[in-house]
Structure 1
Amino acid sequence: MKKEKKIGLTTMIFIALILGAVTGVIINLTLSSSKFVMDYVVNGAFYIVGQGFIRGMQMLVVPLVFCSIVCGAAAIGDTKTLGKVGLKTVMFYMATTVLAVTLALGVANVINPGKGANLAKMMTAAKAAGSTVGKTTTSTSAVDTILNIIPTNPIQALANGDMLAIIFFALLIGIILAKLGERVQLMTNFFSQGNDIMMEMTMMVMKVAPIAVYCLIARTFSSMGFSVIIYMLKYVIAVLIALLLQGFGVYQILLFIFTRLNPFKFIKKFFPVMAFAFSTATSNATIPLSIETLEEKIGVSRKISSFTIPLGATVNMDGTSIMQGVAVVFVAQAYGITLTPMNMLTVIATATLASIGTAGVPSVGLITLTMVFNSVGLPAAGITLIMGIDRILDMARTAVNITGDAVCTTIVAYQNDAVDKEVYNKAIPNK
């Protein structure tokens, strides 16, 4: 007797999105004048369940990010272990993440996915998410923004959810734990176990995501009807364009600049791995195939790739960073919030630093998105417009993530004379 296939969480969220949209449109067209439906269903049950879930996500942000970044920094902070190859790899991953977020913000500001959505009508939802809707976010000078990264009181930064200060403090702790090694093994274990606890709590909160998405989307559509679909599609298009530019533009230009190798040959040989990553939406599952393809078709030494590829699966989240960059602009425009240049720089810094320790569970991407929103004062309620359609984008993001890992590996290997050019330039035999 065959076991029944279980429906995955992302599939359930997508189904909830469709059902919520249908429910909301029906209410908008036929029941919007009913006081009972609007007061007790839309602004009662839907609102309580939806906002309860958002508060649950916000509850996770500070402890999860703090523990995960301490653990991530502790794992990669030992320069003796990393050596020259490790340092180059980490710096390259960080640099491509900065480029990815910058590209995403640029594409989003050209397409303007949320402009005209006017979600500020839903004042209560935005207020509950802790944001002032329709007002410009507080302007801070460049000097103050840089100085605010260093917390005068780390405990206060943790209590206030000051994300850049929290990330900075967590990075310092992680690096010191790595430096002291066995002398502080108890503390290292403490943060590692804390990270495990927060990951488990994340999975528990995410179990109610389909119900919450249904309620939140139904409430949104009951107020706005079909019009919100157009803005969601524009958001998807903006993310996909940015991902394509990163995967087939930015990475390939970097490959050519640093190695002078033909990027078209790289794309042709690595494309099957990209397709596999797209279909599975899992970076970790793609690690063996990436290492094998890099060695057999591109000529990269396994000594390099066996270190840089698994590391990339942990710290290189360019695709996720692109989604976060577009999402920030989308939600800000949808709620009528003006982002200043310093807000944009804060998004770039937060998304880049957060990429160090946020791998492991697919749902963590949503938590870090909440963190990025918090850093510039955006309503977390906007995430619900993104959650249901995130599956397709998640597949594309994964393909971009593993391509970035492979390009970085090839560049680092080339600079260490660990690329066989004959293998790289060898034509793929026709089957």
Structure 2
Amino acid sequence: MKTLTHPAAQIGIAAIAGILFGLIVGEWAANLKFIGDLFIRLIQMAIVPLVMSSVIVATGSIAGKGTGRLALRTFAWMIGFSIVAAVVAWGLSVLIQPGVGMVFDGDIDPTLEESAGQATGWQDTILGFVSTNIFAAMSTATMVPIIIFSLLFGAALNNYAGRTGNTLILSFFDQLQQVVLTMIRFVMYIAPLGVFALLAALAGDVGLAVITTALKYLGTTALGVVILTAVFVVVVTVRTRLNPAKLPRKLAEQTVIAVTTTSSAVTFPTVLRNAVEKVGVSPRVANFTLSVGLTMGSYGAVLNYMIVIMFLAQSGGMTLSVGQIVLGMGLAIMLNMGTITVPGGFPVIAMFLGGTMGLPLQAVGLLIAVDWFTGMLRTFLNVNGDTIVAMLVAKASDDIDRDVYNGTKVVTAKGIDTAEYEKSFARADSAD
């Protein structure tokens, strides 16, 4: 019975009930759609202040720790793998077409169709990234200009705080972020009701296609995880010349914890210990690379976010231009890299991506309903990808002990002060 009190379990039950209800009553279920729309609007209402405060705090809080060759190698591998994840997600989405089949009888918002159909030159697209009036951008939730403004404001705030030692403004935005997060937690209490209404209306509209589409979405994500895992293993084998057959046993413990908890934060102490004691990465490299990876190494998140973008576009019958695809990849990677921190869970992120890209949001409820399963896949790749990156960084500076990896030498990792990583834990959980 304790399991039933878990939010993910409640949403899952509501999703199944909503689909069954919609299939039974048919088109009448559309009368419930306003409840789901209200749930979506409550989340959308918080996105602008949340994104602004998160970007400003993330940029304004950057310290001098992230310098030197160690940091450069860490960021290079993380960015490189993130780009690969985004490209794989796009390729699989084009090949499998997970959103195709969600044919809606209701009209898509005309403004979305109009904005999607407008073809502008790349110069106009870049100019559109910068708003002449940030308050106008905020009022229309035009996210890219808001992000650009927040990045510049955060950088200026970082410089100001460094020169004067005055962190009052930074503290204000940090507190604002926490208040908005609390507001989102309040909204998430009605998530089961919102998901029930959304999926009931969706199932009543499209019928059994809602089930087959959910399986295609999950299958696309799972296949992406398999491909990226293979890429990780091939790269680390070529670079380190270590026996890849020994990796599964070394990663087994953290994999079980990651999949069962769907939390990189909960898995982090095990990952850090295993990197030192089982893989042979030096404590110096493990501490830095894995702590950075906790918030910046969410390769499973990049994969999933790009699939979400393609899924929403396909479900609305929209064809994305090359520029829109590149923008989508950029947003997915920035979410991963911590530049845009959107805590509050997958519903906020899905609607942030859909709203920013001008995509129809009718199928968001379906994505939310199966997010527990995609969360398992995301966390699996996030956690094990971080270990691979730590191995690659350690190899470059000769900080990996082959005797430990081969099992002929025993070392013991020091205890971990979890309080030190409290903020990183919160950000990591938002990506799982």
Shorter chain as normaliser: what TM range? 0.7 to 0.9
Q: Is it true that 1:122 corresponds to 2:106 in the alignment?
A: yes
Give 1:403's aligned residue: 384
- Structure-2 separation of matches of 1:188 and 1:94: 27
- Judge which range, 99-108 or 138-147, deviates more: 138-147
> Which residue number in structure 2 is paired with residue 11 of structure 1?
9
Q: Say if 2:51 and 2:342, in contact at 8 Å, map to a contact too.
A: no
Confirm whether residue 203 of structure 1 aligns to residue 185 of structure 2: yes
Tell me, in whole angstroms, the C-alpha distance in 2 between the residues paired with 1:157 and 1:372.
16
**1:325-357 CA-partner distances (Å, limit 9, x unpaired):** 112222211211111111110100111112215
Two-structure CA RMSD over aligned residues (Å): 2.6
Question: Are the counterparts in 2 of residues 278 and 398 from structure 1 also a CA contact under 8 Å?
Answer: yes
Q: 1:94 Cα deviation (Å)?
A: 2.8
2:128 aligned with 1:148, yes or no?
yes
Q: For residues 57 and 291 of structure 2, what CA distance do their matches in structure 1 show?
A: 16
Give the match for residue 83 of structure 2.
Answer: 98
1:19 to partner: Cα distance: 0.3
Report the Cα distance in structure 2 between the residues aligned to 1:56 and 1:280, rounded to whole angstroms.
Answer: 28
- In 1, are the aligned partners of 2:236 and 2:392 still within 8 Å (CA)? yes
The 3-state SS of whatever aligns with 1:266 is helix
Match of 1:334 in 2: 315
1:301 to 278, 282, 305: 282
Q: Alpha-carbon deviation of 1:422? A: 1.9
Greater Cα offset, 152-161 or 416-425: 152-161
- How far apart are the structure 1 equivalents of 2:341 and 2:290? 13
1:241 paired to 2:226: no
Q: For 1:18-33, list aligned pairs within 5 A.
A: 18-28=16-26, 32=27
1:364 partnered with 2:348: no
Pick closer, same or farther for the CA change 1:405–1:192 going to 2, 3 Å: same
Alpha-carbon separation, structure 2, partners of 1:249 and 1:143: 38
Kept in 2, the 8 Å contact 1:277–1:398? The answer is yes
Are the aligned partners of 1:274 and 1:400 in contact in 2 as well (CA < 8 Å)?
A: no
Does residue 219 of structure 2 align to residue 219 of structure 1? no
SS at match of 2:167: helix
2:176 is equivalent to residue 190 of structure 1: no
Structure 2 matches for 1:208-287, cutoff 5 A?
Answer: 208-246=190-228, 248-287=229-268
Q: Which of 90, 95, 100 pairs up with 1:110?
A: 95
CA separation of 1:140/1:183 partners in 2, compared to 1, >3 Å: closer, same or farther?
farther
Classify 1:268/1:116 alpha carbon distance in 2 versus 1 (closer, same or farther; 3 Å). Answer: same
Give every structure 1 segment of 4 or more consecutive aligned residues whose post-TM-superposition deviation is greater than 6 Å.
Answer: none
CA distance 1:407–1:383, change in 2 (3 Å): same
Does the Cα contact within 8 Å between 2:346 and 2:371 map onto a contact in 1?
A: no
Identity of aligned residues (%): 28
> Is 1:387 aligned to 2:387, yes or no?
no
Separation in structure 2 between the aligned mates of residue 90 and residue 158 of structure 1, nearest angstrom:
31
Match of 1:35 in 2: none
* Alignment correspondent of 2:41: 55
How far apart in 2 are the matches of 1:359 and 1:296? Answer: 32
SS at match of 2:165: helix
> Partners of 1:342 and 1:142 in 2: how far apart?
8
Tell me if structure 1 keeps the 8 A contact 2:36–2:198. yes
> Aligned partners of 1:73 and 1:157: how far apart in 2?
20
| 1:74 is the counterpart of 2:63 | no
Q: In 1, are the aligned partners of 2:331 and 2:353 still within 8 Å (CA)? A: yes
In 2, Cα distance between equivalents of 1:84 and 1:347: 30
Asked if 1 retains the 8 angstrom alpha-carbon contact of 2:90 and 2:307, the reply is yes
Shift of 1:427: 6.9
Q: What SS class does the counterpart of residue 337 from structure 1 fall into?
A: coil
- Residue deviations 1:156-175, cap 9 Å, x none? 33333232322233233333
Amino acid at match of 1:333: Q
Q: 138, 152, 156: which one pairs with 1:172?
A: 152
Q: Deviations over 1:231-270 (max 9, x none)?
A: 1111110111112212x22322332454444444334412
Shift of 1:51: 0.6
Answer whether contact 1:137 1:340 (CA < 8 A) is retained: no
State whether residues 239 and 323 of structure 1, in contact with CA within 8 Å, keep that contact through their aligned partners in structure 2. yes
2:98 and 2:220 in contact (8 A); partners too = yes
Amino acid aligned to 1:311: V
Q: Work out whether residues 314 and 360 of structure 1, in 8 Å CA contact, stay in contact via their aligned partners in 2.
A: no
For normalisation by structure 2, the TM-score amounts to 0.86
AA in 2 matched with 1:115:
V
Q: CA offsets per residue over residues 362-382 of structure 1, 9 Å max, x none? A: x43321221211222112232
Structure 2 distance, partners of 1:260, 1:351, is 32
* Structure 2 stretches lacking a partner, 5+ long: 411-432
Distance 1:330 1:157 in 2: 26
Question: Residue deviations 1:61-82, cap 9 Å, x none?
Answer: 221122112222234x334554
1:185 shift after superposition: 0.4
Greater shift in the superposed pair: 147-156 or 208-217 = 147-156
Contact 2:50 2:342 in 1 (8 A): no
Q: Is contact 2:285–2:394 with CA below 8 Å preserved after alignment?
A: yes
- Partner SS for 1:297: helix
Local SS of the residue matching 1:132 = helix
The count of aligned residue pairs is 407
